[in-house]
Structure 1
């Protein structure tokens, strides 16, 4: 008797990785339901499209619908799964005003996450989030004078024409408020500065990029300042003001330092230069702008599982085990909608990043095809570009967070050259390294610099996954040649210094 198909909900990183791997390994039907029209695209490339470094929106596509179908995958765009019946093993699908039930033998929920807007009125013209190709296209159109938008920038993809036409008809902005100094906020600050806007960046905590730690912020903040970005750290945006189109933001710097470690690894404040672009304090101050970019977070798309009794984890993400299985029979979850196991603490966590989604989807595809494959741990490994600076982080960077999870942390921050001192092109690389005092185990770290600094975080990510100690890390045989690294790579220097503290 033929089995029902493997059904995948979501046509992006996790979903299509699972479907592709499954079809390579099994001679069975797989159906992918995608409620939108865009599939298989690079979320992380959106700021670089807005900036202009990516020429066309469709350059961000990894696979076309025809490429996907050539892999033997039954891709159905414009099909929204609205509910799951785990007892009957069916999903209810809505398309073009019709509904039908689709049986499944196994189900993967890979519905991703969506940008949140908090309590802000995001319906005003000129207010945007950056999450999805249409959102980036809308921003791009908004930046052009009326009647002058180059639609060739969009390629031949399924753009929302009404959204593009509406924003292309509006007068372009001169000033923008970016709310949130995380990954999206920093990347969009660079992109919008490149497009000629006067950029104001508002961050609730005392530093931008809180998960990267104070040492990274101490280099990034003055660098943003030097590029003309006006920073408002320790400042809460209370309101977006406008009738139909945004006219101003109202912000208060008296509440800004409150941020929980659950939201982000908190860092201590540092002294700031008085001769900078940072705004002067002002309770409830009004800042005139013609554009607001909200980078205040994302939340997992789990609504279709409401009423199923599925277990949830941090941030409401779907709880999964080492193989991506949920608490529902034959139902898996992967990507931004699912939890994972933290490589350092062993605890359940939610880390919505691209590699995590692709890797977990591929593993689940293999498992459903008959080859049980773990989805792997996560360590929160991340990199971000802040104009000329490269930043990386992994594991537990904040000592208080490490202590809360049961470790006895010790950390040091060092600065070392990125190449041999006599070879041109080098730059100071700052490394923060955190280890456990009792065992010497590497717990986390952060890196910032101009010269290939970010990629060095992969050495620490590998050390964490292998549960290396400082002794192990210090003795790694890393490559050396003057154009690439000094004899002692900055990561090795950091390991030596922290290890010295343990031995003293």
Structure 2
């Protein structure tokens, strides 16, 4: 009898693992349980669907459920939620529309993803208040800003509340100045809404560092986005009821100030869906995500975890980290699929590389930039900020790129970098990420043989210039 590999969760990590395991061992029974209807979709594209750059939500789907079933011979069961893991019996309990049943497994992957954080703010359940993480929420938000009437909207799933009865909003408040919040600011602006961003920290994009954040903030203001920094949202007020706690959203309240608004997007981050694993006695790490080893194994025998519910190993800090991004999930899932099929494969480390488009800017980061974080990891950080042109000074069309680069004073080891500019940033950050994986010093980065041609770079690429100036600071 063939072994059975059960996967809980049908997005990046889960379907990558299922596909790789079945491809490597065609005799393996691979069963995937997904509580919703969507599988293998590009969540990172959802802001551009709301903006209108992507016409149909289905365009974000890489491989359809039928293709997994018919072409890859994977037993994919949608609308099927795993509600319990029995480690001793090696079974999972599944609920679907027809009832409850148990499924045995030999190997199990927990790939339950993450969920949008719902902060403890009064008014979260008002009409016109949204979170943004699932495909259903993307459709709900796009329909809301487009003024789609109630009787024309499709079902959105239980996590999406009521919206605006077909009345198109004129303004939106975004609570949270992270990746999603700023991507959605651009999307809402393109839809003709007045956009305000409320961020409790002193700057947007806090993990990118102050120098980079300030340039992003200036650009947001130039685009007409109203910024409320270092500002705590205390309440989302409605227009109904004596206390304004019913009906449709009417305002954001921050201390003594009231900001009228007719829709709200709460984008305060995500939390790992680790509860199912915890209930089964599987250990989580300090981040709150499921703890895993180099093969993606958890503390429970024959149980793996990957994707946005699991920790990863940070190459720079040499410690567990939680960075819920797409490549991390896909790569870990693929590795676990190989391991389950008989070829033990490490899931690989991360350096926290990320890039975000904010209107006309490319903004990127990788490694450790924050000095406190670097010190906690045992480093003595030294940083340098430089600005250089994206092209040769005489070639038309070039724009400035600002880079903050950080290194360890004692060893000269490169620790991280962040950068912002209108062109060339999104790929330059990959050079830094590669150097971090190789544990290079800034002097070694300075001596890299990078490509040069006037339309693409000065002779001294901005990355090389940043490394050269920082190296001199360490001497």
TM-score range, shorter chain: over 0.9
Residue 77 of structure 1 and its aligned partner are, at CA, apart by 0.2
- Contact in 1 for aligned 2:136/2:157 (Cα 8 Å): no
Residue 405 of structure 1 and its aligned partner are, at CA, apart by 1.5
- The separation in 1 between residues aligned to 2:3 and 2:91, in whole angstroms, is 10
Q: Secondary structure at the match of 1:94?
A: strand
- Contact in 1 for aligned 2:199/2:229 (Cα 8 Å): yes
Counterpart of 2:316 in structure 1 is 344
- Contact in 1 for aligned 2:278/2:284 (Cα 8 Å): no
- Contact in 2 for aligned 1:392/1:455 (Cα 8 Å): no
- Contact in 1 for aligned 2:35/2:82 (Cα 8 Å): yes
Paired residues, what number? 465
- Segments of structure 2 that go 5 or more residues without pairing to the other structure are 239-245
Name whichever of 187-196 and 113-122 sits farther off.
113-122
Which residue of 338, 353, 366 corresponds with 1:394?
366
Which residue of 344, 347, 350 corresponds with 1:372?
344
Instruction: Give the TM-score, by structure 2 length.
Output: 0.95
Give the 5 Å matches for 1:127-138: 127-138=129-140
Residue 302 of structure 1 and its aligned partner are, at CA, apart by 1.6
- Contact in 1 for aligned 2:114/2:270 (Cα 8 Å): yes
- Segments of structure 1 that go 5 or more residues without pairing to the other structure are 152-157, 253-283
Give the 5 Å matches for 1:211-250: 211-242=207-238, 243-250=246-253
Counterpart of 2:84 in structure 1 is 83
Counterpart of 1:261 in structure 2 is none
Q: Deviations over 1:404-437 (max 9, x none)?
A: 2210111100000111111112110001100011
Q: Secondary structure at the match of 1:208?
A: coil
- The separation in 1 between residues aligned to 2:4 and 2:383, in whole angstroms, is 51
Q: Deviations over 1:381-408 (max 9, x none)?
A: 0001110010000011112221122101
Q: Secondary structure at the match of 1:178?
A: strand
Residue 453 of structure 1 and its aligned partner are, at CA, apart by 1.3
- The separation in 1 between residues aligned to 2:39 and 2:283, in whole angstroms, is 28
Residue 170 of structure 1 and its aligned partner are, at CA, apart by 3.1
Pair 1:166–1:309, CA change in 2 (3 A): closer
- The separation in 2 between residues aligned to 1:161 and 1:315, in whole angstroms, is 28
- Contact in 2 for aligned 1:314/1:339 (Cα 8 Å): no
Q: Secondary structure at the match of 2:93?
A: strand
Q: Deviations over 1:236-281 (max 9, x none)?
A: 00111112111111113xxxxxxxxxxxxxxxxxxxxxxxxxxxxx
- The separation in 2 between residues aligned to 1:407 and 1:211, in whole angstroms, is 18
- Contact in 1 for aligned 2:128/2:164 (Cα 8 Å): no
- Contact in 2 for aligned 1:10/1:112 (Cα 8 Å): yes
Q: Tell me whether 1:289 sits opposite 2:285 in the alignment.
A: no
Q: Deviations over 1:71-114 (max 9, x none)?
A: 11110001100010111110000111511110000000000000
Q: Secondary structure at the match of 1:88?
A: coil
Q: Tell me whether 1:205 sits opposite 2:177 in the alignment.
A: no
Q: Deviations over 1:109-148 (max 9, x none)?
A: 0000000111133321100011111101111111123549
Q: Secondary structure at the match of 2:18?
A: helix
Instruction: Give the TM-score, by structure 1 length.
Output: 0.90
Give the 5 Å matches for 1:274-313: 284-313=256-285
- The separation in 2 between residues aligned to 1:50 and 1:240, in whole angstroms, is 23
- Contact in 1 for aligned 2:312/2:323 (Cα 8 Å): yes
- The separation in 2 between residues aligned to 1:163 and 1:16, in whole angstroms, is 23
Counterpart of 1:499 in structure 2 is 471
Residue 165 of structure 1 and its aligned partner are, at CA, apart by 12
Which residue of 173, 177, 189 corresponds with 2:185?
189
Q: Secondary structure at the match of 2:473?
A: helix
- Contact in 2 for aligned 1:445/1:460 (Cα 8 Å): yes
- Contact in 1 for aligned 2:130/2:161 (Cα 8 Å): no
- The separation in 2 between residues aligned to 1:457 and 1:296, in whole angstroms, is 25
Pair 1:244–1:466, CA change in 2 (3 A): same
Give the 5 Å matches for 1:8-407: 8-27=7-26, 28-69=28-69, 70-120=71-121, 121-145=123-147, 147=149, 160=156, 167=163, 169-242=165-238, 243-252=246-255, 284-407=256-379
- The separation in 2 between residues aligned to 1:309 and 1:146, in whole angstroms, is 45
- The separation in 2 between residues aligned to 1:315 and 1:395, in whole angstroms, is 17
Residue 308 of structure 1 and its aligned partner are, at CA, apart by 2.1
Structural RMSD (CA) = 1.8
Q: Secondary structure at the match of 2:197?
A: strand
- The separation in 2 between residues aligned to 1:168 and 1:126, in whole angstroms, is 6
- The separation in 1 between residues aligned to 2:215 and 2:161, in whole angstroms, is 40
- The separation in 2 between residues aligned to 1:345 and 1:52, in whole angstroms, is 39
- The separation in 2 between residues aligned to 1:397 and 1:427, in whole angstroms, is 24
